[in-house]
Copies of this chain bind each other. A is one copy, B any other.
Amino acid sequence: MRTIRHIQELREAVRQARRENPGLRVGFVPTMGYLHDGHASLMESAREQCGFVILSIFVNPLQFGPNEDFSRYPRNEERDLAVAAAAGVDIVFMPSVEEMYPQPTKTIVSVSQMTEKLCGASRPGHFDGVATVVSKLFQIVQPDAAYFGLKDAQQIAVIEQLVHDLNMPVEIVPCPIIREADGLAMSSRNVYLQPEEREQALVLSQSLNYAGQRIRDQRGGLDAEAVTASVRKLIEEKPLAVIDYVELLSYPSLEAVNRIHSGDRIIIALAIKFGKTRLIDNMILTL
């Protein structure tokens, strides 16, 4: 496994791999590091489907708001490299902020409409930062396929839209949410949680499971507002949980849904704060 920190060197390594192996499928897993089993599952999918796998680790300042956790976002380079090596990654690309943004970028890639809901509403500018850095990384790596986790379901919807609209020759591969044994969705931010918060955070997956069961039991004609209200009620029972949003929308278009009908593809998505820590989770259902 090679560790590469410079764009030019990465380009040359990919070019060489393609030259040595015409028809090579290059898989790409963009991450912000502090790797957990969710990331590992992305690398494994890439490893299964591609002859060459590139992992990037870059905490992208452009997608953090001024009062968010950019500077305190957890980092552990040594452990990340061990996880990547164990997953059979060929190249770990770890550029510095200066390498990615030698000057402040004047160019922004912006996806409208579907970014106005959920995390886009709570984190203004966040998805512009995501769309811009993903565009940059795709231009640098030029992968055939890129792997993203469905915990960030809105992010996947935004990136699929971006790739479609800009005709990027990349296949986006959404991968299932990986959870702890007790149901908590894996996240680099879980390390922020105090023990009591960690325990109450189970309400995210539990309330989603409850809502999913309720929708499955009563297919068609169920009122979306009734579903989100019941999820809110469960979350409000946890004293440390502060609701950022609980929403039921169409997926991947992320448009408002009033009544849930058979055949609909919907997402129930939530963002909950425990102290300074903001956790997200979701369930996508095709009815």
| Assembled-state Cα–Cα distance A7/B139 (Å) | 19
Q: Which residues of B contact A166 (CB under 8 A)?
A: 107, 109, 132, 135-136, 139
| Interface band, chain A | 20 to 34
- Enumerate A239-267 residues with CB–CB distance to B below 8 Å: none
- Enumerate A122-165 residues with CB–CB distance to B below 8 Å: 131-132, 135-136, 139-140, 142, 161-162, 165
Quickly give the copy total for this chain. 2
Main secondary structure of the interface of A (DSSP, over half): mixed
Q: Which of B7, B22, B165, B169 lies in contact with A107, CB distance below 8 A?
A: B165
Question: Are A107's CB and B109's CB within 8 A?
Answer: yes
Q: Which residues of B contact A111 (CB under 8 A)?
A: 106-107
Question: Are A107's CB and B167's CB within 8 A?
Answer: no
Q: Which of B7, B19, B107 lies in contact with A162, CB distance below 8 A?
A: B107
Question: Are A169's CB and B112's CB within 8 A?
Answer: no
| Assembled-state Cα–Cα distance A268/B132 (Å) | 32
| Assembled-state Cα–Cα distance A162/B166 (Å) | 14
Question: Are B168's CB and A139's CB within 8 A?
Answer: yes
How many whole Å from A104's CB to the nearest CB in chain B?
9
Which A residues are closer than 8 A to B by beta carbons?
Answer: 7, 11, 19, 22, 105-114, 131-132, 135-136, 139-140, 142, 161-162, 165-169
What are 17 pairs between A and B in contact, CB < 8 Å?
A7-B167, A11-B169, A19-B22, A106-B111, A106-B113, A106-B161, A107-B111, A107-B161, A108-B109, A109-B109, A109-B110, A110-B110, A136-B166, A136-B167, A139-B167, A139-B169, A142-B169
